[in-house]
Structure 1
Amino acid sequence: MADTTLDALVIGAGVAGLYELHLLREQGLSVRAYDAASGVGGTWYWNRYPGAKFDSEAYIYQYLFDEDLYRNWSWSCRFPGQEEIERWLNYVADTLDLRRDIQFDTRIDSAVFNEDTGRWLVTTDTGDTIDTQYVVTCCGMLSAPMTDLFPGQNDFAGTLVHTSRYPKEGIDFAGKRVGVIGNGATGIQVVQTIADQVTELEVFIRTPQYALPMKNTPYGPEDVAWYQSRLEEFRQNLPNTFTGFEYDFTDTWEELTPDQRRERLEEIYAGGSLQLWLASFSELFFDPAIAEEISEFVREKMRARLKDSDLIELLIPTDYSFGSHRVPLESDYLEVYHRDNVTAVPVRNNPIARIVPEGIVLEDGSLHELDVIIMATGFDAGTGALTRIDIRGRDGRSLTEDWGRDIRTTMGLMVHGYPNLLTTAVPLAPSAALCNMTTCLQHQAEWISEAVRYMRAHGKSVIEPTAEGEEVWVAHHDETAGATLFSRTDSWYNGANVPGKPRRVLSYTGGVGAYRQATLDDAAAGYKSFQFS
């Protein structure tokens, strides 16, 4: 017998979970959110490593459903850091009085669907059992860290942390020899932030990354008034752009002369945002020749900042195109490698073999002695948060096993065979990677809430995608993704960073606006990809 009976259980208290809790509670449902963290924030609770910050403009990384909620919060700068972002999410939770329906320090262990009752039985690591009609997963697309990667990690005599489990109290780097494994978006933020705090810094680099300079500007009252006056514009614009940002693709490569292209690239580059990646020329994602020209533009900018030919070879990509990996923003990151206390350690052809009490040993037997190891080694993106829970659907089928064979969803909102399991930030939706996350998560949370409202109005208790509906979406997703360079480039975008993970581009690449319209059209047609009982 269950300890608790609910209408809906929400897993996660981050951006999506807080909004979903609010929406379902507004309908009068008995709903509770559970989170393994000790506070709200999701990604912005866990990722408190040095230098963690937005690379979406703060004024668009907000909830847009409530004018007062938007206007009563002011950001200090264009790209604020983790502490400020966490304070904002606490402000949201307090303003909407959400804490009374959130259980912290509780991890969901399993969820089993009962076909006789049409309900889920959920268990937690604290021994709770919950009987609920709906399970809504708001676990985040980057919340399952790749932590156990190297033999001997537990033998290290110093301090070893993964960036997404960084200690609240921080780490004192004074007098320390520090190693950072990984140089993606997170590794870049860590390296550029701690280089002047440590005695020695070694950065273990396998794959070079394109990176764009961040132009972070402070905000005064006039700036706040400027972006707050644009709330209605954002409401109309953000859900309909290609990536959920305020900017969108407006230029066509072939319609401009070479000089005009260069002028446009320079103009966008100087803006210091992700616009060069997400809203310069859409051909970047489809045409290898055009992608190479834009890639060379970025390489040229990076080469101009590096003084050493060895660093240029190690830090600047040449074997994949700009934009086919996640593009980070950085602040004087490249210049860090000119410091006397910083060493770039190439590990592509001489990988890390093991970790020993003294530090890191490479395949050639060389030992790098360290006091602190920071693992910026990424995540099992999109799927990992759910495959680490024992989720059982119809006939006892396992989501972990199903996704271990083939990663499939219906519009990233449900999975065939798992009735009343409603999902956000999972594969085959833009929220899996290619989106300003608040834009996409708000839409998914609203779609889920409206589906529940529809069911209640029509006396239905169970919703499930049809096999046919799911097949149509998967085929459309694959056709769309197959036309892009994402499908041809190994990265976490297609699961290549996780050994044995089925290869599929995780994010829907047809655009945020197109995705939103497709989900709304499906609902307007009586949820044609779904069946009810």
Structure 2
Amino acid sequence: MSNPAINDELDVIVVGAGFSGLYHLHHLRKLGFSVKILESSSGMGGVWQWNCYPGCRVDSEVPLYEYSIEEVWKNWKWTERFPDRNELCSYFDHVAETLDLKRDIRFNTRVTAASFDPSSDRWTVTTEKGTVARSRFLILAVGFAAKIYVPDFPGLDRFQGVCHHTAQWPQMGVDVEGKRVGVIGTGSTGVQVVTDVGPRVKHLTVFQRSPAIALPMNQIKIDQEKHEKMRELSPLMYRRRKQTPSGHNIQPIPQDALSVSEEERYLTWEEQWSRGGLNFAVGNYKDVMVNQDANDQVYAFWRDKIRARLHNPVMREKLAPMVAPYPFGTKRPVMEGSYYEVFNQPNVDLVDASEARIQEITPKGVLTTDGIEHELDILVIACGFDSVTGGITQIDIRGVDGTSIKEKWANGVYTNLGMTTANFPNMFFLYGPQAPTALSNGPTCIEIQADWITRCITYMSDKKLTRIEATREAEEEWRNLNMSVAGGTLLGKAKSWYNGSNIPGKVVEPLNFAGGIPYYQSALQDREDRRYDGFILSTHAAGANNPAGSCEVEFK
């Protein structure tokens, strides 16, 4: 299907057709704004379009992981508690068809640059194909996992087998049956790949930097009875998810872990463990992420559960060591069904970086520092992303003074409310830096942010304002709040993409707002109630096309 020409004078250009972009398109269009989405891939779904690796599925359960739009959910039925990638792509097709979205999406159109023109208060957006479009507002809906990360392994280009990053997995798949497969990385993606391919390959070698703290998914099928009950409660659950810190339908226990008896703690953890999903992670005692002693107790419970499933004492220590490799919860929770059982197979090796690091990639496989060459037919790079900021900074976005967003954030991220940044007027971003983002349920965070942005744009339209820009004082204040809140937790004790430490040379800092969804939503509402305090709103006296005179008003 050919793409139509882009109207070059739009109200809004949205970059990305995932959860954020589609939600924005629907709601802004309903209000009469002219909106187009520019999407780099051939389909919708964002990360779910690109990520088609073996075992790919979401780690948030439904119906929390879906839109709260009634015309979408009332005619949609999930088949599993944690849907796989294919079902998620079908869901996005359903969304597009129900809301008639495709007519305003330009697929296979990668945005490479954007610049703000202060003489007209408009953005000029350029694509990889050279197409240029202009809009009053620019919304970056690229998500937190849009820029892949591949470590600089010497010799990677010389490998003679099949090699793919998980986010660039071929849509037609890769045949792993009877092959020698290597997987580099044991985060969420690596765990899913290992679980899926482990029983099918001739030999599996897993290269681990640090062990995953994986939790039981407890997957279930959703039959008609469960579906009907789910839909009866869906509206209630959508409202409830905005009331919990994580944006899931799970509330932390309002007690400190060590304030109750050992017996009560153990029985509580047993109950959470049996529920599966994120219950054990985000529904734990309220001090688990701030008190190291409490955190150690949680880790010990997890460790003993996992070690009981592993047959080999060496594997036990590598995968669930007696001493925690990092505090529980300071890396993204990983869901699993039979990950640890894979390591009981005789055809599986685990290479731990504490014993032997990857020295180079050879034509035949991977050479580690202990002198062993691990011969492979297929090499899977599951090393994640330049998360949270990378998807934004990989676009050459220029602000009022010509400075790029990459240059501005080179020494640290500054945002106002985790959605705007000074020197870049009329630009918003969702599910990005200094918002709840990766510490929250995606749709919850996205709907809160998108609703706020939509109301802001509507307010400006009603007041005939043409420009909104965060003040530097406001973004300093928001950054300091992010640093303070995260600094009161254990999050900084792990080397994680949560703080950018997985990318060489990247500033190590809290990239997600750790204050929780209710606090965040309250902060947004407060700014809105105070007529966008922390922003400068202005308009041209004779209209947007007459830069000769302007009337600038700052609302406080």
Query: TM-score normalised to the size of structure 2?
Result: 0.93
User: Relative to 1, partners in 2 of residues 1:271 and 1:3: Cα closer, same or farther, differing over 3 Å?
Assistant: closer
Could you say what secondary structure the match of 1:285 adopts?
coil
2:443 equivalent to 1:459? no
Residue 39 (structure 1) aligns with: 43
2:292 equivalent to 1:284? no
2:302 equivalent to 1:298? yes
Could you say what secondary structure the match of 1:110 adopts?
strand
Residue 71 (structure 2) aligns with: 68
Decide whether the 8 Å contact of 2:211 with 2:325 is kept in 1: no
Decide whether the 8 Å contact of 1:146 with 1:379 is kept in 2: yes
Aligned CA-pair RMSD: 1.3
Could you say what secondary structure the match of 2:242 adopts?
helix
**Separation (CA, whole Å) in 1 of partners of 2:178 and 2:311:** 27
Residue 545 (structure 2) aligns with: none
**Once the 2 structures are TM-superposed, how far is the Cα of residue 142 of structure 1 from its aligned partner?**
1.3
2:425 equivalent to 1:419? yes
Q: What residue identity is the alignment partner of 2:363?
A: P
Could you say what secondary structure the match of 1:368 adopts?
strand
**Once the 2 structures are TM-superposed, how far is the Cα of residue 111 of structure 1 from its aligned partner?**
0.5
2:132 equivalent to 1:129? yes
Alignment equivalent of 2:413, drawn from 407, 412, 437 = 407
Alignment equivalent of 1:312, drawn from 305, 313, 316 = 316
For structure 2, list consecutive stretches of 5 or more residues without a partner in the other structure: 1-5, 539-556
1:124-523 aligned at under 5 Å gives the runs 124-147=127-150, 149-253=152-256, 254-317=258-321, 318-431=324-437, 433-523=438-528
2:105 equivalent to 1:99? no
2:19 equivalent to 1:15? yes
**Once the 2 structures are TM-superposed, how far is the Cα of residue 3 of structure 1 from its aligned partner?**
7.1
Q: What residue identity is the alignment partner of 2:53?
A: Y
Q: What residue identity is the alignment partner of 2:168?
A: R
Q: What residue identity is the alignment partner of 2:264?
A: Q
**Separation (CA, whole Å) in 2 of partners of 1:417 and 1:462:** 12
**Separation (CA, whole Å) in 1 of partners of 2:134 and 2:330:** 43
Residue 30 (structure 2) aligns with: 26
**Once the 2 structures are TM-superposed, how far is the Cα of residue 366 of structure 1 from its aligned partner?**
2.4
User: Relative to 1, partners in 2 of residues 1:3 and 1:228: Cα closer, same or farther, differing over 3 Å?
Assistant: closer
**Once the 2 structures are TM-superposed, how far is the Cα of residue 42 of structure 1 from its aligned partner?**
0.3
Percent pairwise identity: 37
Q: What residue identity is the alignment partner of 1:367?
A: E
Q: What residue identity is the alignment partner of 2:488?
A: A
**Once the 2 structures are TM-superposed, how far is the Cα of residue 404 of structure 1 from its aligned partner?**
1.4
**Separation (CA, whole Å) in 1 of partners of 2:178 and 2:283:** 43
**Once the 2 structures are TM-superposed, how far is the Cα of residue 175 of structure 1 from its aligned partner?**
2.5
Could you say what secondary structure the match of 2:241 adopts?
helix
Decide whether the 8 Å contact of 2:137 with 2:427 is kept in 1: yes
User: Relative to 1, partners in 2 of residues 1:346 and 1:255: Cα closer, same or farther, differing over 3 Å?
Assistant: closer
Q: What residue identity is the alignment partner of 1:42?
A: G
**Separation (CA, whole Å) in 1 of partners of 2:470 and 2:514:** 21
**Separation (CA, whole Å) in 2 of partners of 1:25 and 1:228:** 27
**Separation (CA, whole Å) in 2 of partners of 1:148 and 1:288:** 31
The C-alpha deviation readout for 1:454-510, integer Å capped at 9, x for no partner, is: 100111111111111111111111111100000222211100100111111111111
**Separation (CA, whole Å) in 2 of partners of 1:3 and 1:366:** 58
**Separation (CA, whole Å) in 2 of partners of 1:169 and 1:31:** 32
**Separation (CA, whole Å) in 2 of partners of 1:526 and 1:415:** 18
**Once the 2 structures are TM-superposed, how far is the Cα of residue 201 of structure 1 from its aligned partner?**
0.7
**Once the 2 structures are TM-superposed, how far is the Cα of residue 231 of structure 1 from its aligned partner?**
2.1
Could you say what secondary structure the match of 2:419 adopts?
coil
User: Relative to 1, partners in 2 of residues 1:522 and 1:115: Cα closer, same or farther, differing over 3 Å?
Assistant: same
**Separation (CA, whole Å) in 2 of partners of 1:444 and 1:356:** 46
Could you say what secondary structure the match of 2:439 adopts?
coil
Could you say what secondary structure the match of 2:55 adopts?
coil
**Separation (CA, whole Å) in 2 of partners of 1:188 and 1:141:** 19
User: Relative to 1, partners in 2 of residues 1:349 and 1:398: Cα closer, same or farther, differing over 3 Å?
Assistant: farther
For structure 1, list consecutive stretches of 5 or more residues without a partner in the other structure: none
Decide whether the 8 Å contact of 1:3 with 1:129 is kept in 2: no
**Once the 2 structures are TM-superposed, how far is the Cα of residue 148 of structure 1 from its aligned partner?**
5.1
**Separation (CA, whole Å) in 2 of partners of 1:348 and 1:425:** 34
Moved over 6 A (4+): none
Q: What residue identity is the alignment partner of 1:101?
A: D
**Once the 2 structures are TM-superposed, how far is the Cα of residue 255 of structure 1 from its aligned partner?**
4.3
**Separation (CA, whole Å) in 2 of partners of 1:321 and 1:371:** 36
Could you say what secondary structure the match of 2:144 adopts?
coil
**Separation (CA, whole Å) in 1 of partners of 2:171 and 2:223:** 29
Task: Tell me how many residue pairs correspond in the alignment.
Answer: 530
Decide whether the 8 Å contact of 1:3 with 1:128 is kept in 2: no
Decide whether the 8 Å contact of 1:240 with 1:514 is kept in 2: no
**Separation (CA, whole Å) in 2 of partners of 1:351 and 1:246:** 41
**Separation (CA, whole Å) in 2 of partners of 1:99 and 1:141:** 23
Of Structure 1 and Structure 2, the greater helix share is in 1
